Amino acid sequence: MQVVEEPVPKENEVLIRVQATTVNDYDWSLARGKPYLYRLMFGLLRPKYTIFGMELSGIVEETGISAKKFVIGDEVFGDISDHGFGTFAEYVCVDENVLRHKPLALSFEEAASIPHAALLALQSFKIVGNLQAGQQVLINGAGGGVGVTALYLATMQDCVVTGVDSADKLAGLRQMGYDHVIDYRQQDFTKNGKTYDVILDCKTNRPPWAYLRSLKKTGTYITVGGKLSSLLGVLFFGRLSRLFSEKGMRILALKPNDGLEEIVNHYVGGDIKCLIDGPYTLDEVPDLVEYFGLGKHKGKIVVKVS
Ligand SMILES: NC(=O)c1ccc[n+]([C@@H]2O[C@H](COP(=O)([O-])OP(=O)(O)OC[C@H]3O[C@@H](n4cnc5c(N)ncnc54)[C@H](OP(=O)(O)O)[C@@H]3O)[C@@H](O)[C@H]2O)c1
């Protein structure tokens, strides 16, 4: 483990004693320097952040001179990706506006696992508009952090939910509440003749016109991630398709922490459950980033720091 000096909060920052953090797609991408687009944002030849990690829960240890939102000892959590990285550490300084109070009903491990994936799901469905009872929803990449939260949100609205993922995850997905499951290696859901009101895609691995074919007349397709070339395809074809159809195609750009209070209330109320892989220890982080890359994790990979 690398030893660095304890950081000192700037005016509007708070120093957090990190209790738990998680491994995300960003960490895997920073470690590999791919997709290459990230190099424009995070460093051309090497990452400008030496400590990765962007989701945390922890305890306020010190406050900057203008930071007024929290007092020492407050339990907080949040996604800090808009304000730098650095949660794979015992201490990190964070702009106080990024953080929210951690509900007492949630453990530090649970709280750290929520902001990023859960808000990708919540913000996607907000773009679609209100889900209606009986609507057919398909989630591609159903067993990841986004897919599982999306399942809970859709079943809360009595939608009929189909999950697409790898064969070894399908039994678990059924148990979680998916009405129908599809093994993506056995069946291409865009070619089985079924149509959906909403398709939420975590992978974007089919051509855009194939998604359009799988939507009902006024259905919406929304993607949260995938290869840049595929996303550009969705952007271009989505605009084109509006000229001849009522179907919608959208790409979500996550607004970190936007809607966090709303989604976390569902966890506190028991409507949504955290699916945690771990917790692991801080010195396991390099291996965990590779483990994330292999895609074998089930739920959020959580690291208990203190
Ligand atoms: N929009 C934004 O602003 C934003 C910001 C940050 C991240 N993201 C994106 O959000 C997504 C994160 O989602 P996540 O963490 O829930 O995903 P994930 O855990 O990486 O993957 C979800 C599931 O997809 C399965 N899968 C793999 N290949 C598949 C295929 N061809 N068809 C269907 N399922 C497949 C995986 O199973 P197996 O691997 O076992 O096959 C896994 O269970 C990523 O795409 C990330 O890039 C978006």
Q: What percentage of the chain reaches a pLDDT higher than 70?
A: 99
Per-residue tokens: 174: 């059924």
Phi, psi dihedrals of residue 208, rounded to the nearest 5°: -60, -35
Q: Does the structure show a pLDDT above 90 at 37?
A: no
Distance (Å, whole) CA 158 – CA 169: 23
State pTM to two decimals: 0.92
Pocket test for ligand 1, best of 166, 186, 257, 277 (most atoms within 8 A of CB): 166
Q: Does the structure show a pLDDT above 90 at 45?
A: no
Distance (Å, whole) CA 61 – CA 55: 18
Q: In the structure, what pLDDT confidence band is assigned to residue 297 with cuts at 50, 70 and 90?
A: confident
> Distance of CA 92 to CAs 34, 52, 165, Å?
25, 11, 36
- The domains of the chain, with CATH numbers, are 13-113+274-304 (3.90.180.10), 119-251 (3.40.50.720)
Q: Does the structure show a pLDDT above 90 at 268?
A: yes
Which of the 8 DSSP states describes residue 202? S
C-beta of 170 in contact with ligand 1 (< 6 A): no
How much is the pLDDT for 4?
A: 85
C-beta of 38 in contact with ligand 1 (< 6 A): no
How much is the pLDDT for 172?
A: 94
Question: What is the pLDDT of the chain when averaged over all its residues?
Answer: 93
Residue 255 exposure: Cα atoms within 13 Å on the Cβ side: 8
